[in-house]
Amino acid sequence: MGDRVPVITIDGPSGSGKGTVAAEVARRLGWRVLDSGALYRLVAYAARGAGVALDDAEALARIASGLQVEFRNGRVLLNGKDVTRQIRTESAGNDASRAAAIPEVRQALLQWQRSQARPPGLVADGRDMGTVVFPDAPVKIFLDASAQERARRRYNQLKEQGIDVSLRDLVAEIEARDRRDRNRSVAPLKPAPDALVIDSTDLSVEEVVAKVLEQARRAFPQLAQGE
């Protein structure tokens, strides 16, 4: 696991803002970012394309081990094809959460995720970054927000993209996905014992980013020196 490469983990439920915060923290520090949720979305998307059922553990694990993925300028490429839009839909998120409940799939993605810890540093976002993938990370954040607020953020995002959805449906979908992520037996969504829990319900992105950077400066003195 990339000896001494500094790692910040940001876990939390869907819509808590972890992706946005992780990207901004990584940008400020000049570090790499790992969007682990995209991997589960890609596995489920590839499975659908290949006609594989989302509960076929063996076939899904095979897909996960052979995943040819590239993150480039905010785009996600699967076998060289840009699938960013396709994997960002609500149904792709639900499919991902089903595939993610399968231990063999998680195991197949583990090494690749760890291999992303390369200099100068990594900001990893997901559900089990601090608990399973990078248990030794010196900075662990668990970002939460009320289901209502998370649904509202998602609603605004979709509206901006011209996609019409009902807020009530979104709250129900977000709650259902959270339940599955929190209650699964393997790598359930929960804060690592040493994580700082931040409730972002009433915080701006900038305020959350500032809190994460403050933790980072404390844990990695080399960062503070550079300022």
Q: What are the residues binding ligand C5P (CB under 6 A)?
A: 14, 36-37, 40-41, 93, 96-97, 100, 126-129, 177, 181
Pick between residue 64 and residue 223 the one whose CB is nearest to ligand C5P.
64
DSSP string, 3-21: TT--EEEEE-STTSSHHHH
H helices, E strands: number in the chain: 10, 8
Q: How far is the CB of 99 from ligand C5P (least distance, A)?
A: 8
Q: How far is the CB of 166 from ligand C5P (least distance, A)?
A: 19
Helical H segments across 32-138, by residue range: 36-49, 57-65, 84-87, 90-99, 103-114
Residue 188, CB-side half-sphere exposure with 13 Å CA sphere = 8
Q: How far is the CB of 19 from ligand C5P (least distance, A)?
A: 7
CB neighbours of 87 closer than 8 A, spacing ≥ 6? 38, 41, 42, 45, 76, 96
Residue 67, CB-side half-sphere exposure with 13 Å CA sphere = 31
Pick between residue 205 and residue 224 the one whose CB is nearest to ligand C5P.
205
* Cis peptide preceding 119, ω within 30 of 0: no
Q: How far is the CB of 226 from ligand C5P (least distance, A)?
A: 29
Pick between residue 180 and residue 211 the one whose CB is nearest to ligand C5P.
180
Angle at 206 between CA 39 and CA 193, to 5 degrees: 60
Give the DSSP H or E segment for 179: helix 167-183
Q: How far is the CB of 90 from ligand C5P (least distance, A)?
A: 10
Pick between residue 40 and residue 155 the one whose CB is nearest to ligand C5P.
40
Q: How far is the CB of 129 from ligand C5P (least distance, A)?
A: 6
CB closest to ligand C5P, residue no: 37
Pick between residue 84 and residue 217 the one whose CB is nearest to ligand C5P.
84
Pick between residue 121 and residue 126 the one whose CB is nearest to ligand C5P.
126
